[in-house]
């Protein structure tokens, strides 16, 4: 261990700084790109297995995701909630908290936003901001509950967040099926009434599906990057994530850190729900947020980018592109939509093997006792 470190130090001194920075930057990109290519290769195998043409399928996938301005904005609209959720998850992962409760946080955020937008008697602009805030607070509170249970009662966060997902699904489903159900229309769907048009998030381009939520998500990614990288709080959070014992020894208070992190992490997921309600669906519809798997896609985005905020945003767009591209593939070829899920999972597996190598050096010394956080 010590030997390797001196070697590396020596190399560092020899290499000129700009070159080293470039090499480091490149190294950060090579692995995800290699994983992406391997994932596409795995997808090619799957395409051949159903007798499709690889070139044609991938061409359709490209056309369906970025082929025209319309499809590009479509992809960005789909990427919006994934980005926000991914950022929240990345934040928690960076602090070493495995928050897998994005789904429940997303739902409560969406429901709270819909209710606020519908029933708060204030002017439209204020209602929009209040709805977004309500989404953040509701998502954050649900997430904070898991954090509090962990800190106060020592419940395993990973498991409690998973369980809270199911509870949130049923609670939200109850609200839109009974007290908040829209009974005016003749639709048999369980949904709230439609939010007033003045409260909708503005579209970025006329007639295109991408809305102001995308700008919010992009800004959030940059903000989170700066906070994590350049502030003391960000440093503490990252320290706790890479070595909790060291961080606690150094004076980080786990409970407080956990409360803030979980609050913010769930807040992002809640914001995703609010943005989706105000920008795309204009009401809370039962199952409309769980069916597309936004929450798990967001978690995937964070995993793909190794919890780097800007990388998470990029990964979210990539995943959204795979999904919208998959729909294009299904429309125009014999290959089913799920080719996208196969490629996504393959990419993550290849990425995790890379994640591996970074840990490997650290692990060798303490002979991998099997714990990881």
Query: Of 110, 82, 2, 130, which Cα lies nearest the Cα of 322?
Result: 82
Query: Of 277, 271, 211, which Cα lies nearest the Cα of 87?
Result: 271
Query: Total binding residues for another protein by CB under 8 A?
Result: 58
Q: Which is nearer to another protein, 10 or 349 (CB)?
A: 349
Residue 74: phi, psi to the nearest 5?
A: -60, -45
Q: Which is nearer to another protein, 3 or 357 (CB)?
A: 357
Per the rule left: phi > 0, alpha: psi between -120 and 50, beta: everything else, 58 is alpha
Residue 45, token pair as written in the block? 């195998």
168's enclosing H/E stretch is: helix 157-177
Say whether residue 294 binds another protein (CB under 8 A).
Answer: no
In whole angstroms, the minimum distance from the beta carbon of 121 to another protein comes to 29
Say whether residue 352 binds another protein (CB under 8 A).
Answer: yes
Member of 224, 257, 275, 303 binding another protein (CB under 8 A): 303
Site string for another protein, 48-87 (x = CB under 8 A): -xx-------------------------------------
Site string for another protein, 118-147 (x = CB under 8 A): ------------------------------
Return the ∠ at Cα 225 (arms to 90 and 210), rounded to 5°. 80
In whole angstroms, the minimum distance from the beta carbon of 26 to another protein comes to 22
Residue 217 near residue 83 (C-beta atoms within 8 A): yes
Q: Give the total residue count for the chain.
A: 373
Say whether residue 155 binds another protein (CB under 8 A).
Answer: yes
Q: Measured between alpha carbons, how far is 109 from 92 in angstroms, rounded to an integer?
A: 18
Per the rule left: phi > 0, alpha: psi between -120 and 50, beta: everything else, 367 is left
Say whether residue 162 binds another protein (CB under 8 A).
Answer: yes
Say whether residue 189 binds another protein (CB under 8 A).
Answer: no
Residue 319 near residue 300 (C-beta atoms within 8 A): yes
In whole angstroms, the minimum distance from the beta carbon of 130 to another protein comes to 27
HSE-up of 30 (CA within 13 Å, CB side)? 6
**Taking CB under 8 A as the criterion, which residues in 208-267 touch another protein?**
244-245, 248, 254
Residue 71 near residue 324 (C-beta atoms within 8 A): yes
Member of 167, 223, 226, 233 binding another protein (CB under 8 A): 167
3-state secondary structure of 285: strand
Member of 166, 223, 233, 253 binding another protein (CB under 8 A): 166
Residues that bind another protein (CB under 8 A): 46, 49-50, 96, 98, 100, 153-156, 158-160, 162-164, 166-167, 170-171, 173-174, 177-178, 244-245, 248, 254, 296, 299-300, 303, 336, 338-342, 344-346, 348-349, 352-353, 355-357, 359-360, 363, 367-373
């Amino acid at each position: 261990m010590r030997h390797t470190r001196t070697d590396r130090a020596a190399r560092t001194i020899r290499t000129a700084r700009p070159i080293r920075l470039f090499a480091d930057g490149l190294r950060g990109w090579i692995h995800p790109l290699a994983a992406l290519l391997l994932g596409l290769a795995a997808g090619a195998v799957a395409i051949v297995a159903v007798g499709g043409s690889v070139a044609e399928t991938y061409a359709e996938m490209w056309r369906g995701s970025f082929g025209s301005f319309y499809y590009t904005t479509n992809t960005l609209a789909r990427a919006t909630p994934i980005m926000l959720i991914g950022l929240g998850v990345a934040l928690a992962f960076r602090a070493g908290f495995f928050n897998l409760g994005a789904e429940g946080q997303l739902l409560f955020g969406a429901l709270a936003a819909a209710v606020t937008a519908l029933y708060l008697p204030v002017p439209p602009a204020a209602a929009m901001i209040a709805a977004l805030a309500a989404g953040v607070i509701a998502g954050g509170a649900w997430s904070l509950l898991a954090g509090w249970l962990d800190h106060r009662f020592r419940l395993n966060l990973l498991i409690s967040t998973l369980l809270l997902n199911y509870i949130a699904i049923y609670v939200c489903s109850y609200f839109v099926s009974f007290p908040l159900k829209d009974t005016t229309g003749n639709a048999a769907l369980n949904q709230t009434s439609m939010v007033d048009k003045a409260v909708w998030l503005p579209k970025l381009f006329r007639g295109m599906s991408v809305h102001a939520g995308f700008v919010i998500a992009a800004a959030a990614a940059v903000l989170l990057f700066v906070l994590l990288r350049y502030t003391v709080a960000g440093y503490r959070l990252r320290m706790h994530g890479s070595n909790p014992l060291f961080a606690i020894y150094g004076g980080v208070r786990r409970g407080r850190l956990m409360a803030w992190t979980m609050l913010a992490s769930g807040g992002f997921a809640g914001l995703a729900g609010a943005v989706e309600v105000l920008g795309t669906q204009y009401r809370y519809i039962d199952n409309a947020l769980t069916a597309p798997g936004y929450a798990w896609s967001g978690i995937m985005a964070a995993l793909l980018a190794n919890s780097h905020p800007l990388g998470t945003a990029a990964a979210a767009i990539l995943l959204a592109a795979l999904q919208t591209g998959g729909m294009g593939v299904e429309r125009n070829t014999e290959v089913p939509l799920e080719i996208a899920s196969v490629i996504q999972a393959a990419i993550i597996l290849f990425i995790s093997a890379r994640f591996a190598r970074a840990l490997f050096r650290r692990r060798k010394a303490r002979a991998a006792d099997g714990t990881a956080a």
